Amino acid sequence: MLDKAPDGKMSDLLNALDKALSAGEVERAVDLFQTDCYWRDLVTFTWNIKTMEGKEQVRDMLKARLADTKPSNWKIADGEDASETDGIIESWIQFETEVARGFGHMRLKDGRIWTLLTTMSELKGHEEPLGFDRPMGAKHGAERNRKTWKEEREAEAAELGYSRQPYCVIVGGGQGGIALGARLRQLNVPTIIVEKNERPGDSWRKRYKSLCLHDPVWYDHLPYLPFPRNWPVFSPKDKIGDWLEMYTKVMELNYWGATECKKASYDQKSREWTVVVQRDGKEVVLKPKQLVLATGMSAKPNIPKFEGMDIFKGDQHHSSQHPGPDKYKNKKAVVIGSNNSAHDICAALWEAGADVTMVQRSTTHVVKSDSLMELGLASLYSEQAVQSGMTTAKADLIFASLPYKILHEFQIPVYNAIRERDADYYKRLEKAGFLLDYGDDDSGLFMKYLRRGSGYYIDVGASELVANGSIKLKSGVDVKKLTEHSVILTDGTELPADLVVYATGYGSMNGFAADLISREVADKVGKVWGLGSNTTKDPGPWEGEQRNMWKPTQQVGLWFHGGNLHQSRHYSQFLSLQLKARMEGIPTPVYGLQKVHHLS
Ligand SMILES: Cc1cc2nc3c(=O)[nH]c(=O)nc-3n(C[C@H](O)[C@H](O)[C@H](O)COP(=O)(O)OP(=O)(O)OC[C@H]3O[C@@H](n4cnc5c(N)ncnc54)[C@H](O)[C@@H]3O)c2cc1C
């Protein structure tokens, strides 16, 4: 008998799954999974972002959630075919639940499900007005006292937050708040974004002068409105600022610039937030049902405390406050830290003619931007990927389909190849005294980002300056103290300094919850970010998903949103659907709400 083609095998499996699930037969469904299976669900079954690892967890979830999820119509996605490589059959899939349409991805190994990704595309009856359903814009016909689009926008802007309350308030109007705001706008969820900076994009504009995005354009698109094809690969910070400002306007967001959120509290009884903001010098009290903190995961500066900081006579500031190198020509600069910001700032200071020393306290992962692009990202996010038909949405979903538990196994070979390709480069850096690592398990940059959001530099030129000694390096030492005119290191070295930059990173986002709501609520929701991988700065136990991001937290009505541009784009879809469902009164029983193991 002829072996079936991949389409046939995939369809057989999907039919069997459909039948078992429709009949409510959990055991029959679980039998279709491999022992070492992974089912990653973005909202469809769990109303959570959750990976079930192994058959037992799949069984538990189905027992809890199958009856009211009522999944059906599992099939290979319209217009797609299954494919087979090295014995793994994979395909895009589609399905429905009682309340939503879903899209996903499945991999079969030995005829059983190895990885399954299920994501919510849209809520039935609450679809976005797109394509055939796009708004008319014009109202044909004749009507007395009709309002123009502009007048309607102005009326909305005047009433929302004053005579009419928003359903959702997003604190923080960086790219995260803006992307989520755009999705909520399309879903008709009344939302106000409050941002203490004056203009959208200012959070980028205010960063150090030389900054360009470290990630390439294919990775950075915002929802609905991709960058044009002539957009630079690495966007300069002020250019991305302008794009965000334009985007905010054309996506018709209710964006309150120059508005600072001062405090927020939740009333358990009315299930409503009281959010106090300062707008145009006046206090405004907002009463949303949902509060999203999109205040930035690289936004709460970690400022170290060293003896003598109070007597130091030169300039000193955290990297987030660094104005750029212009006034430091011929001055002596000491930069504490050795990650992205430290490297960028050192290089810009060197270019401006400063005498720069980088103080590296512990190992750093460094990867050349070219190598990262070619070996790490090219298959999903590159011009070649675009040419071969890869779309941003598919790239995001393929990435999402790789379970976090085994993601490092896919990453280690990539970084081994990079180490081999750039062996001379790494040797030269080590010779200069630079302390390198490749992640605790050699899994490289992206795992470090997911686990701890720090500890690396994507090399766009500064490493050469470190290797050739143009940027002086003191490694394996810490700062002991500052004097009036110098930095003293723990090995006794004295570095004369006119400028000290603390490129010492950022703290957990629940620090914002502590500032704005209360320490009690911050501790109740716990640490934000990290997977529980039990690697440096990401303590266990294993969580399996990014802590507290884009999903329900232990505080009803409180959400965290953000991450890099890719994550903001991708996860804003699932957060917006969770919020929309709640607004519409669709039951959203959360399966597997994470426990709190760490406070910050
Ligand atoms: C040096 C550097 C380089 C980076 N490079 C990249 C890159 O190449 N690609 C990438 O994707 N990411 C990069 N990042 C990560 C970057 O922080 C994020 O991608 C991006 O800024 C996150 O957007 P966000 O909206 O989540 O947070 P932010 O941009 O930090 O925005 C948060 C906003 O919240 C506002 N806010 C905070 N508190 C309040 C309050 N109480 N009331 C009102 N408003 C408030 C702030 O003013 C701010 O505008 C970089 C970060 C740094 C520091």
Picking from 537, 593, 538, 529, the residue whose alpha carbon sits closest to that of residue 564 is 529
Which atom of ligand 1 lies nearest, measured to the CA of 294?
A: 26
pLDDT score of 393 more than 90: yes
For range 417-446, the mean pLDDT:
97
Give kind and range of the element (H or E) at residue 489. strand 486-489
How many angstroms separate the alpha carbon of residue 10 from the centre of ligand 1? Answer: 42
Please report the atom of ligand 1 found closest to the CA of residue 562.
26
Contact 184, 205 (CB under 8 A): no
**How close is the Cα of 267 to the center of ligand 1, in Å?**
29
pLDDT at residue 1, as a whole number: 43
The mean pLDDT of 470-475, rounded to a whole number, is: 98
Beta bridge partners, 168, equal 191, 290
Backbone angles phi, psi at 301, to 5 degrees: -60, 135
Of all residues in the chain, what percent carry a pLDDT higher than 90?
A: 96
Among residues 587, 593, 581, 515, which one has the least CA distance to residue 555? 593
Does 26 have pLDDT greater than 50?
yes
Q: Supply the residue whose CA is at minimum distance from atom 13 of ligand 1.
A: 564
User: Strand 168-171 to strand 290-293: parallel, antiparallel, or no bridges (unpaired)?
Assistant: parallel
3-state helix, strand, coil in the chain (%, to 5): 35, 25, 40
- Total residues belonging to the chain: 600
Write the CB contacts of 567 (distance below 8 Å, at least 6 apart in sequence).
549
Residue 222, both tokens:
């915002």
The lowest-confidence range among 22-31, 204-213, 231-240, 247-256 is: 204-213
Q: Cis peptide leading into 200, omega within 30 of 0?
A: no
The pLDDT of residue 299:
79
- Residue 561 alpha carbon, nearest atom of ligand 1: 26
Q: Residue 174 Cα, ligand 1 centroid: separation in angstroms?
A: 6
- Distance from the alpha carbon of residue 203 to the mean position of ligand 1, in angstroms: 6
Taking only the tens place, the pLDDT of each residue in 135-182 is 998 888 999 999 999 999 999 999 999 999 999 999 999 999 999 999
* 410 pLDDT tier (thresholds 50, 70, 90): very high
Q: Assess contact for 169 and 192: CB atoms under 8 A.
A: yes
Name every residue whose Cβ is closer than 8 Å to that of residue 173 and which is 6 or more positions away in sequence: 181, 193, 194, 195, 197, 200, 203, 248, 255, 256, 257, 294
Could you identify the atom of ligand 1 that is nearest to the CA of residue 340?
1
Ligand 1 atom 34 nearest Cα: 172
Average pLDDT over residues 461-477: 97
Judged against a pLDDT cut of 80, whether residue 448 lies above it is answered with yes
**pLDDT for the residue 2:** 52
Mean of pLDDT values over 79-102:
97
Expressed in angstroms and rounded, the spacing between residue 508 Cα and the centre of ligand 1 is: 13
Q: Average pLDDT, whole number, for the chain?
A: 96
* CA neighbor of 194 nearest in space, from 182, 177, 206: 177
What does the pLDDT read at residue 507? 85
Mean pLDDT, rounded, for 219-233: 97
- Look up tokens 């999109």; give the residue: 294
Is residue 209's pLDDT more than 90? no
Q: What are phi and psi of 369, to 5 degrees?
A: -55, -45
Question: How far out from the chain centre does Cα 323 lie?
Answer: 26
Quickly list DSSP for 156-200.
HHHHBTTTB--SEEEE--SHHHHHHHHHHHHTT--EEEE-SSSST
From ligand 1's centre to the CA of 585, what distance in Å? 32
Paired strand residues for 192? 169
Pocket test of ligand 1: the residue of 298, 445, 457, 559 to mutate, having most ligand atoms within 8 Å of its CB, is 298
Which two tokens mark 519? 């320490």
Taking alpha carbons only, the member of 537, 527, 501 closest to residue 595 is 527
Q: Would you state the pLDDT for residue 208?
A: 86
Does the structure show a pLDDT above 50 at 262? yes
Whether 123 contacts 581, CB under 8 Å? yes
Here the tokens at position 481 are 């103290």
Residues 6+ positions from 237 with CB-CB distance below 8 Å:
204, 205, 207, 211, 212, 213
Give the pLDDT score at 210: 85
Burial class (CB in 10 A: 0-12, 13-18, 19+), 388: exposed
Type of residue at 84: E
pLDDT band at 292 (very low <50, low <70, confident <90, very high): very high
Which pLDDT score, from 0 to 100, does residue 273 have?
98
Q: Which of 192, 240, 295, 566 for mutating ligand 1's site (highest number of atoms within 8 Å of CB)?
A: 295
Peptide bond into 496 cis (omega under 30): no
Q: Cα 39 vs. chain centroid, distance in angstroms?
A: 21
Residues with CB under 6 A from ligand 1: 171-177, 194-197, 203, 207, 211, 213-215, 260-261, 294-296, 298-299, 340-341, 516, 562, 564-565
For residue range 456-468, what is the model confidence (pLDDT) as tens digits?
999 999 999 999 9
Instruction: Please state the rounded mean pLDDT for residues 206-228.
Output: 94
